[in-house]
């Protein structure tokens, strides 16, 4: 190997290390600011419930801002996936402040949404700034999008291994090269430690008891995992259903979240509780030790699907955690497995089914709950993945692999609704 080749390799390596540092630090800092702001607006809403009546006005503001500036940005995570599969135009940096503002308004006024979508979109918008700075081509832009997803996910949940794997798996390793794999892990840890530097604390969960694996346990794992997969299917279809319904019946986009906000505010008032709005983290934490009602997960699906379908902003992942944990908690009344284990299995299994990412979700389970529960978590994620249908929460996600083959064969037999 001659000197010029060594020099070229060193320059390329230095370039990508620099890119990872920039994306990781700025995405991590953006997530830190977002998490602090999200906690603040949640506290304001919890102490002033009357603010929920402003949901229609907040929805109108979100709808108008997105309509006025760039309706393409409203695609959110789907825009990142589309640009990865077919690079055409740069992801507008405007996506970052708009999704941040829209998500904070949604949570302040009482919408039911998550946070991963916001962090991932901010990460993607920040990452794509490097395209012009470093004069990158289409192949290198794909790597940037992977890095943005990885940094955003890892920083907002405090799970660097999961963030790196999720970014690769959500695109099913399509057109992935060695550079993308290495950089995905590097940027995830940089973003994670950036949030740690800002002294932002993440929610901790605990599974104190993991029983020995036996045939009885396997039987119950299979049963509950199928239910987790079906819950993921219901969640995904609910979100898409409400989105189509609003688009079909309300032609002017800003009016969709306005009308949706009116319905949401009235619904929250009549059910007499706010536990199904916002992130729902207290409910998720309690699910590991307190039995949930069997309808809690269904109401969260309804409120989240309606909120996001109407045009409010935020992510889907934390609501998926809510759905899975509360469903697992409710099943513990009938299933002879520890409540915390069932809640933990549901936590990641429903997420696995809705995003087609069983590997990342298994790793997430071990990162959050400990490696002791890894076998239970892994089986639950794989089964839920197969039973969650062919369409997940990201409409632009291209599903490949064994699940794609399975559902293609099912469709040939006439079961197209799956």
- Residues with Cβ within 8 Å of 147's Cβ and at least 6 positions away in sequence, in order, are 19, 20, 23, 123, 127, 167, 180, 183, 184, 187
The domain covering 215-412 belongs, at the CATH homologous superfamily level, to Clc chloride channel (1.10.3080.10)
Domain range annotation of the chain: 3-197, 215-412
Distance of CA 30 to CAs 145, 261, 397, Å? Answer: 16, 27, 25
pLDDT at residue number 292: 98
Taking Cα atoms as reference points, which of 59, 46, 49 lies closest to residue 262? 59
Q: What is the pLDDT at residue 174?
A: 67
Q: What does the pLDDT look like over 172-208, one tens digit per residue?
A: 866 788 999 999 999 999 999 999 999 999 998 999 9
Query: pLDDT tens for residues 291-350?
Result: 999 999 999 999 999 999 999 999 999 999 999 999 999 999 999 999 999 999 999 999
pLDDT in tens, 348-385: 999 999 999 999 999 999 999 999 999 999 999 999 99
In terms of Cα–Cα distance, which of 136, 100, 106 is closest to 121?
Answer: 100
Q: What is the DSSP letter of 252?
A: S
- Residue 410: pLDDT band (50, 70, 90) is low
**Whether pLDDT at 79 is above 70:** yes
- CATH of the domain spanning 3-197, picked from 1.10.3080.10, 3.40.50.620, 3.60.21.10, 3.40.50.2000: 1.10.3080.10
- Where does residue 391 fall: left (phi above 0), alpha (psi -120 to 50 degrees), or beta otherwise? beta
∠ Cα 278 281 287 (to 5°) = 130
Confidence category of residue 414, pLDDT binned at 50, 70, 90: low
CATH topology agreement for domains 3-197 and 215-412: yes
pLDDT at 418 over 60: no
């Amino acid at each position: 190997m001659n000197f010029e080749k060594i020099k070229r390799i060193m320059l390329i390596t230095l370039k990508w290390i620099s890119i990872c540092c920039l994306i990781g630090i700025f995405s991590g800092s953006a997530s830190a600011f977002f998490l602090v702001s999200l906690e603040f607006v949640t506290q304001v809403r919890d102490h002033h419930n009357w603010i929920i009546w402003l949901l229609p006005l907040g929805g109108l503001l979100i709808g108008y801002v997105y309509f006025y500036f760039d309706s393409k940005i409203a695609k959110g995570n789907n825009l990142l996936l589309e640009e990865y599969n077919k690079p055409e135009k740069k992801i507008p940096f405007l996506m970052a402040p708009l999704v941040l503002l829209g998500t904070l308004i949604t949570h302040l006024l009482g919408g039911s949404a998550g946070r991963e979508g916001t962090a991932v979109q901010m990460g993607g918008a920040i990452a794509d700034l490097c395209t012009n700075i470093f004069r990158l081509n289409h192949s290198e832009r794909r790597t940037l999008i992977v890095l943005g997803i990885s940094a955003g996910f890892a920083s907002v949940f405090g799970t660097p291994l999961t963030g790196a794997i999720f970014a690769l798996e959500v695109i099913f390793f399509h057109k992935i090269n060695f550079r993308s794999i290495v950089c995905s892990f590097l940027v995830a840890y940089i973003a994670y430690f950036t949030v740690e530097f800002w002294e932002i604390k993440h929610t901790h969960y605990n599974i104190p008891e993991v029983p020995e694996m036996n045939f009885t346990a396997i039987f119950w794992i299979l049963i509950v995992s199928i239910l987790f997969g079906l819950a993921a299917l219901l969640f995904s279809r609910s979100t898409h259903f409400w989105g189509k319904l609003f688009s079909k019946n309300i032609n002017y986009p800003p009016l969709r979240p306005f009308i949706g906000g009116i319905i949401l505010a009235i619904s929250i008032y009549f059910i007499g509780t706010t536990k199904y709005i916002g992130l729902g983290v207290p409910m998720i934490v309690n699910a590991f030790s307190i039995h949930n009602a069997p309808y809690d997960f269904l109401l969260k699906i309804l409120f989240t699907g309606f909120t996001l379908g109407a045009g409010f902003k935020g992510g889907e992942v934390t609501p998926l955690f809510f759905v899975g944990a509360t469903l697992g908690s409710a099943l513990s009344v009938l299933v002879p497995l520890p409540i915390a284990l069932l809640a933990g299995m549901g936590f990641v299994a429903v997420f696995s089914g809705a995003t087609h990412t069983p590997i990342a979700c298994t790793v997430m389970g071990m990162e959050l709950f400990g490696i002791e529960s890894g076998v239970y978590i892994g089986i639950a994620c794989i089964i839920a993945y197969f039973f969650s249908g062919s369409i997940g929460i990201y409409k632009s996600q291209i599903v490949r692999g064994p699940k794609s083959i399975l559902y293609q064969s099912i469709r040939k037999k006439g079961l197209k609704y799956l």
